[in-house]
Amino acid sequence: MEIKKEDLSRKMGHIKELCNMMDPLTVLQGRKSDRVDYCDTEEGDNEDRERDDKKVRAVGDLDVGLISVTLHSGLAGIVTGVKRQSQVPANILQGVNTSSDMLLDVNTASDMLLGINTASDMLLDVNTAANNVTVSGDMKTVSLSEVIQSCPETPERFQSDHVLSARSFSSGRHYWEVEGSESGGWTVGMAYPSIDREGGQSRIGYNSKSWGLERLGNILYNARHDSKITFRLCHRLSSRRFGIYLDYEAGRLSFYELCEPIRHLHTFTATFTEPLHALFCVYENNTWLRI
Protein backbone atom coordinates (compact mmCIF):
# COMPACT_ATOMS: atom_id res chain seq x y z
CA MET A 1 0.00 0.00 0.00
CA GLU A 2 2.84 2.37 0.86
CA ILE A 3 4.37 1.75 -2.57
CA LYS A 4 1.05 2.58 -4.25
CA LYS A 5 0.85 5.79 -2.25
CA GLU A 6 4.38 6.84 -3.20
CA ASP A 7 3.82 5.99 -6.87
CA LEU A 8 0.60 7.99 -6.98
CA SER A 9 2.23 10.97 -5.25
CA ARG A 10 5.19 10.83 -7.65
CA LYS A 11 2.92 10.85 -10.71
CA MET A 12 0.99 13.81 -9.39
CA GLY A 13 4.23 15.63 -8.67
CA HIS A 14 5.47 15.05 -12.20
CA ILE A 15 2.30 16.43 -13.75
CA LYS A 16 2.43 19.44 -11.42
CA GLU A 17 6.02 20.14 -12.50
CA LEU A 18 5.06 19.93 -16.16
CA CYS A 19 2.06 22.19 -15.61
CA ASN A 20 4.20 24.78 -13.81
CA MET A 21 6.90 24.79 -16.48
CA MET A 22 4.73 24.58 -19.59
CA ASP A 23 3.59 28.19 -19.54
CA PRO A 24 1.97 29.20 -22.87
CA LEU A 25 3.88 32.51 -22.99
CA THR A 26 7.20 30.71 -22.56
CA VAL A 27 6.25 28.31 -25.31
CA LEU A 28 5.17 31.02 -27.73
CA GLN A 29 8.41 32.95 -27.14
CA GLY A 30 10.55 29.87 -27.70
CA ARG A 31 11.55 28.11 -30.90
CA LYS A 32 8.61 26.37 -32.56
CA SER A 33 8.84 23.05 -34.33
CA ASP A 34 6.31 21.56 -36.72
CA ARG A 35 6.80 18.13 -35.25
CA VAL A 36 8.23 16.68 -32.06
CA ASP A 37 9.02 13.01 -31.64
CA TYR A 38 9.91 11.60 -28.24
CA CYS A 39 10.45 8.01 -29.34
CA ASP A 40 14.13 7.86 -28.30
CA THR A 41 13.65 8.01 -24.54
CA GLU A 42 16.72 7.29 -22.44
CA GLU A 43 16.79 4.21 -20.28
CA GLY A 44 17.67 4.26 -16.63
CA ASP A 45 16.62 3.45 -13.13
CA ASN A 46 14.14 6.30 -13.09
CA GLU A 47 12.65 5.90 -16.57
CA ASP A 48 9.40 7.73 -15.86
CA ARG A 49 11.17 10.85 -14.55
CA GLU A 50 13.65 10.89 -17.44
CA ARG A 51 10.79 10.73 -19.90
CA ASP A 52 9.02 13.64 -18.21
CA ASP A 53 12.28 15.61 -17.93
CA LYS A 54 12.88 15.13 -21.63
CA LYS A 55 9.45 16.59 -22.37
CA VAL A 56 10.22 19.56 -20.14
CA ARG A 57 13.59 20.18 -21.85
CA ALA A 58 11.85 20.15 -25.21
CA VAL A 59 9.15 22.59 -24.16
CA GLY A 60 10.58 25.29 -26.42
CA ASP A 61 9.84 23.08 -29.41
CA LEU A 62 6.23 22.39 -28.49
CA ASP A 63 3.23 24.17 -29.91
CA VAL A 64 0.36 25.07 -27.60
CA GLY A 65 -1.82 22.39 -29.18
CA LEU A 66 0.63 19.62 -28.34
CA ILE A 67 0.99 20.94 -24.80
CA SER A 68 -2.79 20.90 -24.43
CA VAL A 69 -3.06 17.34 -25.68
CA THR A 70 -0.14 16.19 -23.52
CA LEU A 71 -1.47 17.78 -20.35
CA HIS A 72 -5.02 16.59 -20.98
CA SER A 73 -3.83 13.01 -21.42
CA GLY A 74 -1.53 13.24 -18.40
CA LEU A 75 -4.28 14.57 -16.18
CA ALA A 76 -6.65 11.89 -17.43
CA GLY A 77 -4.09 9.26 -16.47
CA ILE A 78 -3.80 10.70 -12.97
CA VAL A 79 -7.58 10.73 -12.53
CA THR A 80 -7.76 7.12 -13.68
CA GLY A 81 -5.05 6.19 -11.22
CA VAL A 82 -6.89 7.88 -8.38
CA LYS A 83 -10.15 6.14 -9.20
CA ARG A 84 -8.37 2.79 -9.25
CA GLN A 85 -7.22 3.43 -5.69
CA SER A 86 -10.81 3.52 -4.46
CA GLN A 87 -10.29 0.25 -2.60
CA VAL A 88 -7.29 1.65 -0.72
CA PRO A 89 -8.08 2.79 2.87
CA ALA A 90 -8.24 6.57 3.27
CA ASN A 91 -5.34 6.65 5.74
CA ILE A 92 -3.05 5.15 3.08
CA LEU A 93 -3.72 8.10 0.77
CA GLN A 94 -3.23 10.66 3.54
CA GLY A 95 -1.42 13.68 2.16
CA VAL A 96 -2.45 12.91 -1.44
CA ASN A 97 -4.98 15.41 -2.74
CA THR A 98 -7.78 13.26 -4.16
CA SER A 99 -10.69 15.55 -3.29
CA SER A 100 -9.94 18.51 -5.54
CA ASP A 101 -12.53 19.36 -8.19
CA MET A 102 -9.69 20.00 -10.63
CA LEU A 103 -8.34 16.50 -10.09
CA LEU A 104 -11.71 14.93 -10.74
CA ASP A 105 -12.50 17.11 -13.75
CA VAL A 106 -9.81 16.81 -16.41
CA ASN A 107 -11.61 19.17 -18.77
CA THR A 108 -11.78 21.96 -16.18
CA ALA A 109 -8.11 21.48 -15.34
CA SER A 110 -7.08 21.74 -18.99
CA ASP A 111 -9.23 24.83 -19.47
CA MET A 112 -7.68 26.57 -16.47
CA LEU A 113 -4.10 25.64 -17.34
CA LEU A 114 -3.99 26.95 -20.89
CA GLY A 115 -7.24 28.79 -21.52
CA ILE A 116 -8.26 26.05 -23.93
CA ASN A 117 -11.90 24.99 -24.03
CA THR A 118 -12.33 21.23 -23.94
CA ALA A 119 -15.34 20.51 -26.14
CA SER A 120 -16.69 17.63 -24.06
CA ASP A 121 -20.26 18.66 -24.85
CA MET A 122 -19.85 18.27 -28.61
CA LEU A 123 -22.77 16.40 -30.20
CA LEU A 124 -23.66 15.41 -33.74
CA ASP A 125 -26.41 17.27 -35.58
CA VAL A 126 -28.86 14.64 -36.84
CA ASN A 127 -30.46 17.24 -39.11
CA THR A 128 -27.28 17.25 -41.20
CA ALA A 129 -26.73 13.45 -41.20
CA ALA A 130 -26.93 11.75 -44.59
CA ASN A 131 -29.52 9.01 -45.02
CA ASN A 132 -26.81 6.36 -45.36
CA VAL A 133 -25.32 7.00 -41.90
CA THR A 134 -26.64 6.28 -38.42
CA VAL A 135 -26.20 8.59 -35.44
CA SER A 136 -26.29 6.96 -31.99
CA GLY A 137 -28.86 7.89 -29.37
CA ASP A 138 -26.33 9.89 -27.36
CA MET A 139 -25.40 11.87 -30.49
CA LYS A 140 -21.74 10.88 -30.08
CA THR A 141 -21.20 8.13 -32.69
CA VAL A 142 -21.75 8.01 -36.44
CA SER A 143 -21.56 4.78 -38.43
CA LEU A 144 -22.29 3.70 -41.98
CA SER A 145 -25.83 2.35 -42.15
CA GLU A 146 -26.71 -0.96 -43.79
CA VAL A 147 -30.19 0.38 -44.50
CA ILE A 148 -30.83 3.67 -46.28
CA GLN A 149 -32.98 5.79 -44.01
CA SER A 150 -35.84 8.01 -45.09
CA CYS A 151 -35.17 11.22 -43.21
CA PRO A 152 -36.75 14.30 -44.81
CA GLU A 153 -34.60 16.12 -47.33
CA THR A 154 -33.55 19.54 -46.08
CA PRO A 155 -30.95 22.10 -47.21
CA GLU A 156 -28.83 21.13 -44.19
CA ARG A 157 -28.73 17.38 -44.85
CA PHE A 158 -25.75 15.82 -46.66
CA GLN A 159 -26.42 13.63 -49.66
CA SER A 160 -24.08 10.89 -48.44
CA ASP A 161 -21.61 9.77 -45.77
CA HIS A 162 -21.31 12.99 -43.70
CA VAL A 163 -22.62 14.63 -40.54
CA LEU A 164 -21.73 17.95 -38.87
CA SER A 165 -21.45 18.74 -35.19
CA ALA A 166 -24.25 20.78 -33.68
CA ARG A 167 -21.72 23.08 -32.06
CA SER A 168 -19.64 25.60 -33.98
CA PHE A 169 -16.56 27.66 -33.09
CA SER A 170 -15.98 31.24 -34.19
CA SER A 171 -13.27 32.24 -31.71
CA GLY A 172 -10.93 30.87 -29.08
CA ARG A 173 -8.88 27.71 -28.64
CA HIS A 174 -10.61 24.34 -28.45
CA TYR A 175 -9.66 20.69 -28.02
CA TRP A 176 -11.59 17.45 -28.40
CA GLU A 177 -10.93 13.78 -29.09
CA VAL A 178 -12.24 11.32 -31.64
CA GLU A 179 -12.00 7.53 -31.77
CA GLY A 180 -12.15 5.74 -35.11
CA SER A 181 -12.98 2.17 -36.06
CA GLU A 182 -10.07 -0.21 -36.48
CA SER A 183 -10.99 -0.97 -40.08
CA GLY A 184 -12.68 0.86 -42.92
CA GLY A 185 -12.42 4.33 -44.38
CA TRP A 186 -13.29 7.53 -42.56
CA THR A 187 -12.43 11.23 -42.44
CA VAL A 188 -12.61 13.69 -39.56
CA GLY A 189 -12.01 17.43 -39.59
CA MET A 190 -13.75 20.79 -39.70
CA ALA A 191 -15.87 22.72 -42.18
CA TYR A 192 -17.76 25.95 -42.67
CA PRO A 193 -21.56 25.67 -42.47
CA SER A 194 -21.70 26.90 -46.08
CA ILE A 195 -20.08 23.70 -47.39
CA ASP A 196 -22.03 22.06 -50.23
CA ARG A 197 -24.31 19.21 -49.18
CA GLU A 198 -24.20 17.14 -52.36
CA GLY A 199 -21.81 16.23 -55.15
CA GLY A 200 -18.04 15.89 -55.07
CA GLN A 201 -17.63 19.36 -53.56
CA SER A 202 -19.46 18.21 -50.43
CA ARG A 203 -16.75 15.75 -49.39
CA ILE A 204 -14.53 16.82 -46.53
CA GLY A 205 -11.16 18.06 -47.79
CA TYR A 206 -12.28 18.23 -51.41
CA ASN A 207 -13.22 21.92 -51.32
CA SER A 208 -11.96 25.22 -49.93
CA LYS A 209 -14.43 25.11 -47.03
CA SER A 210 -13.19 22.04 -45.16
CA TRP A 211 -10.02 20.51 -43.72
CA GLY A 212 -9.77 16.81 -42.93
CA LEU A 213 -7.64 13.86 -41.88
CA GLU A 214 -8.74 10.84 -43.90
CA ARG A 215 -8.00 7.18 -43.41
CA LEU A 216 -7.82 4.89 -46.44
CA GLY A 217 -7.54 1.17 -45.77
CA ASN A 218 -5.60 0.32 -42.63
CA ILE A 219 -2.30 2.15 -43.06
CA LEU A 220 -2.76 5.22 -45.29
CA TYR A 221 -3.61 8.62 -43.80
CA ASN A 222 -3.97 11.86 -45.76
CA ALA A 223 -4.45 15.43 -44.61
CA ARG A 224 -6.52 17.09 -47.30
CA HIS A 225 -7.82 20.59 -48.08
CA ASP A 226 -9.21 22.02 -51.31
CA SER A 227 -8.63 18.63 -53.00
CA LYS A 228 -4.91 18.85 -52.24
CA ILE A 229 -3.04 16.37 -50.05
CA THR A 230 -0.86 18.38 -47.67
CA PHE A 231 0.41 15.43 -45.64
CA ARG A 232 0.57 11.68 -46.21
CA LEU A 233 1.43 8.92 -43.76
CA CYS A 234 1.70 5.29 -44.81
CA HIS A 235 1.95 3.58 -41.46
CA ARG A 236 -0.20 1.47 -39.15
CA LEU A 237 -0.90 3.77 -36.21
CA SER A 238 -0.75 2.32 -32.72
CA SER A 239 -3.84 4.16 -31.46
CA ARG A 240 -7.40 4.59 -32.71
CA ARG A 241 -7.81 7.81 -30.72
CA PHE A 242 -6.99 11.23 -32.09
CA GLY A 243 -6.80 14.67 -30.51
CA ILE A 244 -7.93 17.70 -32.50
CA TYR A 245 -6.86 21.22 -31.53
CA LEU A 246 -8.28 24.43 -33.02
CA ASP A 247 -6.90 27.92 -32.49
CA TYR A 248 -9.41 29.99 -34.43
CA GLU A 249 -7.69 33.39 -34.29
CA ALA A 250 -4.27 31.92 -35.07
CA GLY A 251 -5.74 29.93 -37.96
CA ARG A 252 -4.40 26.57 -36.81
CA LEU A 253 -6.10 23.16 -36.93
CA SER A 254 -3.93 20.33 -35.61
CA PHE A 255 -4.30 16.55 -35.44
CA TYR A 256 -2.53 14.27 -32.96
CA GLU A 257 -2.33 10.52 -32.53
CA LEU A 258 -2.98 9.78 -28.84
CA CYS A 259 -0.29 7.15 -28.47
CA GLU A 260 2.59 7.10 -25.98
CA PRO A 261 4.23 9.49 -26.57
CA ILE A 262 1.63 11.68 -28.27
CA ARG A 263 2.43 12.17 -31.94
CA HIS A 264 1.75 15.32 -33.95
CA LEU A 265 0.40 14.30 -37.35
CA HIS A 266 -0.36 17.55 -39.16
CA THR A 267 -1.36 21.19 -38.73
CA PHE A 268 -3.41 23.14 -41.26
CA THR A 269 -2.93 26.90 -41.32
CA ALA A 270 -5.59 29.23 -42.72
CA THR A 271 -7.41 32.48 -42.15
CA PHE A 272 -10.84 31.33 -41.02
CA THR A 273 -13.72 33.49 -42.25
CA GLU A 274 -16.78 31.58 -40.97
CA PRO A 275 -17.70 29.59 -37.87
CA LEU A 276 -16.29 26.07 -37.93
CA HIS A 277 -18.17 22.84 -37.26
CA ALA A 278 -16.55 19.46 -36.70
CA LEU A 279 -17.29 17.25 -39.70
CA PHE A 280 -17.32 13.45 -39.81
CA CYS A 281 -17.41 11.10 -42.79
CA VAL A 282 -17.75 7.28 -42.86
CA TYR A 283 -17.84 5.51 -46.19
CA GLU A 284 -17.10 1.80 -45.77
CA ASN A 285 -18.93 -1.07 -44.08
CA ASN A 286 -18.32 -1.51 -40.33
CA THR A 287 -16.86 1.98 -40.13
CA TRP A 288 -17.61 4.38 -37.28
CA LEU A 289 -16.35 7.52 -35.55
CA ARG A 290 -17.04 8.48 -31.95
CA ILE A 291 -16.55 11.84 -30.23
Per DSSP, the residues of 210-222 read EEEEEEETTTEEE
> Does the pTM of the predicted model rise above 0.75?
no
Average confidence (pLDDT) over 201-219: 93
Q: In this model, does residue 275 exceed pLDDT 90?
A: yes
State the pLDDT confidence band at 217, using cuts at 50, 70 and 90. confident
Domains in the chain, start-ordered, CATH in brackets? 2-116 (no CATH), 126-290 (2.60.120.920)
Q: In this model, does residue 101 exceed pLDDT 80?
A: no
Output the DSSP codes for the chain. -HHHHHHHHHHHHHHHHHHHH--HHHHHHS---S------PPPSTTHHHHHHHHHHHGGGG--HHHHHHHHHHHHHHHHHHHHHGGGS-GGGGTTS----HHHH-HHHHHHHHHS-EE-TT--B-GGG--TTEEE-TTS-EEEE-SS---PPP-TTS-SSSEEEEEEEESSSEEEEEEEE-SSS-EEEEEE-TTS-SSSGGGSTTSSTTEEEEEEETTTEEEEEETTEEEEEEES--S-SEEEEEEETTTTEEEEEE-SSS-EEEEEEE----S-EEEEEEE-STT-EEE-
Q: In this model, does residue 194 exceed pLDDT 90?
A: yes
| Cα–Cα distance, 285 to 186 (Å, whole number) | 10
pLDDT for position 6? 61
Q: Which residue has better confidence, 281 or 105?
A: 281
Q: In this model, does residue 200 exceed pLDDT 70?
A: yes
pLDDT for position 157? 97
Of 29-43, 93-107, 232-246, which one has max mean pLDDT?
232-246
Average confidence (pLDDT) over 248-270: 93
- Mean pLDDT of the chain, nearest integer: 75
pLDDT in tens, 30-53: 333 333 333 333 344 445 444 444
What whole-number percentage of the chain has pLDDT above 70? 60
- Look at phi and psi of residue 185 and say left if phi exceeds 0, alpha if psi is from -120 to 50, else beta: beta
pLDDT for position 274? 98
pLDDT for position 209? 98
Q: In this model, does residue 3 exceed pLDDT 70?
A: no
Q: In this model, does residue 220 exceed pLDDT 60?
A: yes
State the pLDDT confidence band at 120, using cuts at 50, 70 and 90. confident
| Cα–Cα distance, 275 to 291 (Å, whole number) | 19
State the pLDDT confidence band at 114, using cuts at 50, 70 and 90. low
Say how many Å lie between the first and final Cα of the chain, rounded.
36
pLDDT for position 130? 97
Q: Which residue has better confidence, 215 or 23?
A: 215
Contact 289, 161 (CB under 8 A): no
Q: Which residue has better confidence, 67 or 187?
A: 187
pLDDT for position 235? 79
